[in-house]
Structure 1
């Protein structure tokens, strides 16, 4: 099979028939063999009924229905698990992503050799309250991930080589960082394509401003796991050692100064009346805690079932 199209959705009953008809037309015009996997993320409208009707009319339509709303990442994870196409395309169900982009995305994967191609909505039909935070978010993601050529990490329209989606785990709200997940898994050929962004035709957006705050927290988590997930002692042990050393030296200097003053009969206040003494002790305590955190983290990582789960490209 050439292409699997994975579409997560929540309350998009009006757009689904039009979206599938559009995808079907594009696929037939280009002679692709394909499947469309709709992942109904706990919709409360008639979305599942529409998906069922579409599947009865076409054997290319498959559906997954969650009992409740889990989020976009779990929907993509389940869709990726079922996808059988050589190239996997993801898009949103609100008709803001154009299926006309699929042939070029497919070509970039199969002919240009990319592992992943992310859409870039250069001209957006969103309010400033959404576009400005999006620009700041993408700038931060580029800096931390090191993927400098991507302008829109969160674009729903993406194309993947099949091996990519079968070797990454999309969980929580990590769908924003699938290119970063792919890079951490060893898929470094990541490209970008400017795609058409269309104004929403039906319904309203399902995302609020809180996604930007959550996105930054997820980015920090992904950065840490990518860099220190298998070696937590390297970060916690290092920081703990530095803090303990600074605290110890500071306490030693305070104590030595007190001993010198007593030996020479110089009047001086009690060591415990100095705030620097307590700061030094606090740094030593925190440093010890950080060191022990790294030690425990190493013990946990060594007993993990995935401690030797490495990405092997091929064998001969």
Structure 2
């Protein structure tokens, strides 16, 4: 249904990789400064959110669990390609559903990378094996590990509207455990309710203060407020002329500095994607190696325009 809505809203657009619907040269983005390599740990999740961009759920295994050996292979490729990667990010699904998550995280931390894990901080993270593993990682690599918690809204009833009744309380319990064990935390919120940026940050600040969470609500790197990817809204195509019109550099777009590795169900090997937002779009699959992923990315999708170029979003910390 979402695909049909997207096609109706943007009929005639985003059809040609190189040319827009009105015949102009489509903008592309070069990988100028690879700073973050993302891994999707698998699309399985303990909950099913109303507006999950990747449709994660307890039954969606379209992207299967990536293994520690596969992650290590890409970490080796970073060295071979001499990519100036600063950060390794893990997203899902829910990363702590992956049984090798602690081993995977350690593999990245051992190389000296900063590690960012996106989690809902609910039951999968709170299992004894995961908590014990996290405490070991915290002991060995405290300053390198950050967990970004999905708190869709600072009001429990609105958060639960997206994630299910009782979800907010369970997430807060996980965050309190992280707080009590001195983990570095960040939060990811959403703008689906139309709050202003100022109102949202004030609300999160009050929430953080009430729970003694050491998170800066005014810092966009610590409290990330993501624009919604409404596929029923018409968006403009981005041409090469747009950079000057918008006074924006292609270097500021996410695919100039990041790639994501996924393992598709039934695939022999993981694949590298242009970004974290287009996991199900074959056109944005760049091959199985980082060498292949050094190609330019043509902005031939509505999300490229609304979420990245016009919305200015970044998944990195």
Is the shorter-chain TM-score for this pair beyond 0.5, marking a shared fold? no
- Provide TM-score, normalisation by structure 2: 0.29
Name the larger-Rg structure: 1
Give the structure with the larger helix fraction. 1
